[in-house]
């Protein structure tokens, strides 16, 4: 009997060990995807889900194959199914966002990219995705503005909610052009503070910027009273806040502001503030409270305290931050990062400048560095015949090519999937840290221009989300 047991063990144990050490169905499918054999991978996974319909990994791999084959709608349905099976599947959330991005459903793409940032363990990918969300939001606003322009004749101002408000860029009426960045900086501060009032709906500055670019508006156009009804209608705002500023003698500044109704052009509120430049931020708070008071809006104690929060009291820091806004609107992320960094250096407690610097740096890694003229420096390198850095595409001629990220699973592209056994509270964090992380390398050519005629913000097209080898 013992000899029979030993004989069986000698025969079957090595076979079992060989089977257990061999590649799994998922591993084989991953290899097929890496090789671009998406049809084979898809066929394997379709057979697998018939046998094991509740296995999320098989559905995820099937979704990746569909994504590679550019069948984005079907891929999105598949990844949505995966997330119902496993709500913590970060890679499926990423791919689902990427599929919606390809279908130009930007709001859904942003929604699932945000879900990914909540799920992922990998910080470097999280930061890149957060920067991508910001770029996509600009693209979403661009699409919405274009749609509003196409339907302009059908838009009815009378149907715009009475609690909607848009803040236009302020006009620099002074002699010092170095204060020009405050046009957007001051508008940004007002938008931020007015957005803290729960009874108001304030139009985002990004939407205003896209309208300015679409209509190729100048500073004069923005303050032209005759244009106000059209701006309000296109922005979906019942009221518009406009104003100007100019420096006085003795390091003092004057700020004027008035609120007009989009439909009638009648003035609801006017206010004027004068003070030292070093008190610029307190002047802005006073301006906000006067506007709200003139509009007869009552504030809660909580709202009042929120508005009183000052991001910085360093005028130079805020001026550099405002300059960063202008550069970022031009798509000049390299220079925007430098401006935001100067703001943060001038005031280390200026949290908004620090976060904007980080975002601009990540955006630069997505769209590529830009020269002082706003041109993509990698495009310049490619045109001069130099070899691009690894992971970038060489461009030829004057027409920019659409760059892409390389593919997933060990060859760059989307972030790696978190192993369910190693998620928070389960297994070793160190094991997750040991997973291979590949850098996302991609470029884009954001167009050309000069500082006197800045290029528009280039967010269309974005560098492709993961674009693995496909059939």
For residue 405, give the 3-state DSSP assignment: strand
Q: Which residue has the tokens 């047991």?
A: 5
pLDDT digits 0-9 by tens, 350-397:
999 999 999 999 888 888 776 655 555 554 444 433 333 333 333 333
Please check whether residues 223 and 168 belong to one and the same domain.
yes
Token output for 445: 């050519």
pLDDT at residue 461 is higher than 70: no
Single out the residue in 285, 310, 335 at which a domain terminates: 310
pLDDT at residue 193 is higher than 90: yes
Asked whether residue 456 is assigned to any structural domain, the reply reads yes
Residue 282: predicted pLDDT: 87
- Which residues are within 8 A (CB) of 272 and not within 5 positions of it... i.e. 6 or more apart? 254, 255, 256, 257
Asked whether residue 52 is assigned to any structural domain, the reply reads yes
Residue 152: predicted pLDDT: 85
Asked whether residue 273 is assigned to any structural domain, the reply reads yes
**Mean pLDDT lowest among 196-210, 302-316, 399-413:** 399-413
Residue 113: predicted pLDDT: 92
Token output for 202: 């304030």
Give the separation between CA 325 and CA 412, rounded to whole angstroms. 31
Token output for 249: 């003698």
| Closest of 192, 194, 207 to residue 163, by C-alpha | 194
Asked whether residue 8 is assigned to any structural domain, the reply reads no
Phi, then psi, of 195 in degrees rounded to 5: -70, -15
For residue 66, give the 3-state DSSP assignment: helix
- Which residues are within 8 A (CB) of 32 and not within 5 positions of it... i.e. 6 or more apart? 38, 40, 41, 44
For residue 373, give the 3-state DSSP assignment: coil
Token output for 201: 């709906």
Give the separation between CA 333 and CA 370, rounded to whole angstroms. 7
Please check whether residues 160 and 306 belong to one and the same domain.
yes
Indicate the pTM of the whole model.
Answer: 0.70
List the beta bridge partners of residue 252: 248, 276
What distance separates the 2 farthest-apart alpha carbons in the chain? Answer: 108
Single out the residue in 249, 279, 310 at which a domain terminates: 310
* Cα dihedral 362/367/368/370 (nearest 10): -100
Give the separation between CA 165 and CA 288, rounded to whole angstroms. 13
Please check whether residues 105 and 168 belong to one and the same domain.
no
Q: What's the CATH number where 301 sits?
A: 3.40.50.10070
pLDDT at residue 427 is higher than 70: no
Beta strands 164-167 and 252-261: pairing type?
Answer: unpaired
Q: How many domains does the chain divide into?
A: 2
Token output for 433: 């840290």
Residue 121: predicted pLDDT: 79
Is 182 or 269 the better-scoring residue by pLDDT? 182
Phi, then psi, of 243 in degrees rounded to 5: 180, -175
Residues of the chain above pLDDT 70, percent? 72
**Where does the pLDDT of residue 110 fall: very low under 50, low under 70, confident under 90, or very high at 90 and above?**
very high
Rounded mean pLDDT, 75-98: 93
Q: What's the CATH number where 119 sits?
A: 1.25.40.10
Asked whether residue 317 is assigned to any structural domain, the reply reads no
Give the separation between CA 222 and CA 242, rounded to whole angstroms. 8
Rounded mean pLDDT, 169-173: 91
Please check whether residues 245 and 290 belong to one and the same domain.
yes
* Residue ranges making up the domain that contains 114: 26-139+397-424+445-471
For every residue of 231-257, DSSP letters joined together read HHHHHT-SEEEEEEEEEETTTEEEEEE
Asked whether residue 2 is assigned to any structural domain, the reply reads no
Residue 99: predicted pLDDT: 94
Asked whether residue 297 is assigned to any structural domain, the reply reads yes
What's the Cα-to-Cα distance from 234 to each of 138, 151, 159, 162, rounded to whole Å? 16, 9, 12, 15
Residue 349: predicted pLDDT: 95
Asked whether residue 301 is assigned to any structural domain, the reply reads yes
Single out the residue in 310, 336, 368 at which a domain terminates: 310
For residue 273, give the 3-state DSSP assignment: strand
């Amino acid at each position: 009997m013992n000899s029979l047991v030993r004989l069986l063990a000698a025969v079957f144990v090595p076979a079992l060990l060989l089977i257990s050490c061999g590649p799994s169905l998922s591993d084989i499918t991953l290899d097929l995807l890496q090789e671009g054999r998406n049809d084979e991978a898809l066929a394997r996974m379709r057979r697998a889900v018939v046998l094991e319909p509740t296995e999320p990994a098989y559905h995820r791999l099937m979704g990746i194959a569909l994504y590679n084959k550019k069948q984005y709608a079907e891929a999105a349905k598949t990844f949505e199914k995966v997330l119902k099976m496993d709500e913590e599947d970060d890679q499926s959330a990423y791919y689902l966002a990427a599929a919606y991005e390809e279908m130009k459903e930007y709001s859904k793409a942003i929604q699932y990219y945000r879900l990914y940032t909540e799920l992922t363990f990998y910080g470097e990918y999280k930061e890149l995705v957060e920067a991508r969300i910001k770029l996509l939001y600009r693209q979403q606003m661009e699409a919405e503005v274009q749609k509003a322009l196409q339907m302009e004749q059908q838009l009815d101002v009378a149907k715009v909610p009475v609690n909607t408000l848009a803040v236009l860029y302020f006009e620099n009426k002074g002699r010092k052009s170095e204060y020009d960045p405050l046009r957007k900086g001051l508008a940004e501060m007002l938008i931020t503070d007015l957005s803290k009032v729960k009874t108001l709906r304030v139009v985002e500055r990004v939407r205003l910027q896209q309208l300015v670019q679409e209509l190729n508006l100048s500073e004069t156009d923005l303050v032209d009273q005759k244009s106000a009804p059209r701006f309000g209608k296109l922005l979906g705002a019942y009221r518009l806040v406009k104003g100007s500023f100019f420096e006085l003698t003795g390091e003092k500044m004057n700020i004027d502001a008035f609120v007009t109704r989009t439909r009638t052009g009648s003035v609801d509120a006017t206010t004027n503030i004068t003070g030292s430049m070093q008190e610029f931020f307190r002047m802005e708070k006073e301006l906000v409270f006067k506007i709200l008071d003139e509009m007869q809006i009552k504030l809660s104690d909580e709202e009042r305290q929120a508005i009183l929060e000052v991001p910085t009291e360093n005028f130079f820091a805020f001026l550099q931050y405002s300059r960063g806004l202008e550069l970022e609107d031009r798509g000049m992320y390299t220079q925007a990062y430098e401006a935001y960094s100067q703001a943060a250096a001038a005031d280390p407690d200026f949290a908004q400048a620090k976060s904007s610097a980080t975002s601009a740096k990540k955006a630069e890694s997505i769209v590529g560095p830009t020269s002082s003229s706003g041109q993509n420096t990698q495009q310049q390198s490619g045109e001069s015949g130099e070899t691009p850095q690894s992971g970038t595409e060489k461009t030829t001629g004057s027409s920019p090519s659409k760059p892409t990220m390389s593919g997933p699973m060990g060859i760059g592209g989307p972030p790696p999937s978190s192993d369910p056994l190693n998620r928070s509270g389960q297994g070793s964090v160190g094991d997750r840290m040991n997973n291979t992380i590949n850098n996302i390398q991609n470029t884009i050519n954001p167009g050309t221009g000069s500082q006197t005629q800045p290029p528009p913000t280039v967010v269309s097209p974005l560098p492709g989300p993961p674009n693995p080898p496909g059939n």
